[in-house]
Amino acid sequence: SLRPKGYPSQNDGPADRKRRVMFVGTAYYGFSQTYPPFLPGPVYLDWHHRILSQLADLPIDLVHKPHPGGFYNGCPPGLEKYAPVLTDSFEAEMSSVDVFVFDIAASTTFSTALSSDRPIVLLDSGSLQFNETVAPDIHRRCRILKLGYDARNRPQVGADELADAVCGGPNRVDPAAFRKLYLGDYA
C-alpha cells in the first residue's frame, strides 16, 4: 500500500476521510516559452499524465485544476481520466480542498495558496530560484520535492516520497508570513 506512515495525521474529520487534493497545473504554451523556462508543451503534457496517474493511485480524493488559458484553453487532452477537472476559478474552488500540489511556483494561484491555511506540495523541477529573502519562508510553508529526470529527460518523482508529502503532515498550516508579506500590517 502507498499509505504513508501516520496517515491520516492530525485529521480534522473522521479517521476514514480521504484528503481532497487539488493538482494545479500552469498554462501550456505550445511552441512558445516563458521565463523562467519550464518544460516544453509536449513534455509538460506527458508529465501531467504521469503525475496525475501517480496521484490517482494514492488514498486521496483527487481533483485537477488546469490553467484556464494557454494552448489548450483550460482543457488539456486526456487528463480527465485521472481526476475530475475543475472549471470554476481557483479562488472559488480552493476552500473545497485539503492539500494543493503545484509543479510551477511562478503563478498567481501559487501566491494565493501561500496565503491559505492549506498544506502545499511543490514539485520542484529546478527551473525557478526563490529570492533569498523569501526562500526560507517558502521552505517552511511548503513540502518541496525535487524532481529527478529519467534517461529520456522526463521529470520523475518517487512514489513513496510523493505519498508521504501529499498524505502526511498537518491538515492546516500557518500562512501568517505570506499574509503579512502581501498585506503588511493589515494581515
Find all residues with CB under 8 Å of 92, minimum gap 6, and list them.
none
102 sits in which H/E element: strand 99-102
> Per-residue pLDDT for the chain (187 aa), expressed as one digit of tens each?
343 333 343 444 445 689 999 999 887 676 676 777 778 788 889 999 999 999 999 999 999 999 877 776 777 878 899 999 999 999 999 999 999 999 989 889 999 999 999 999 999 988 888 999 999 999 999 999 999 999 998 999 999 999 999 999 999 999 999 888 888 776 5
End-to-end alpha carbon distance in the chain: 42
What's the confidence (pLDDT) of residue 129?
87
pTM, rounded to two decimals: 0.87
DSSP 120-161: EEEEE-S-----TTTHHHHHHHEEEEE-EE-TT--EE--HHH
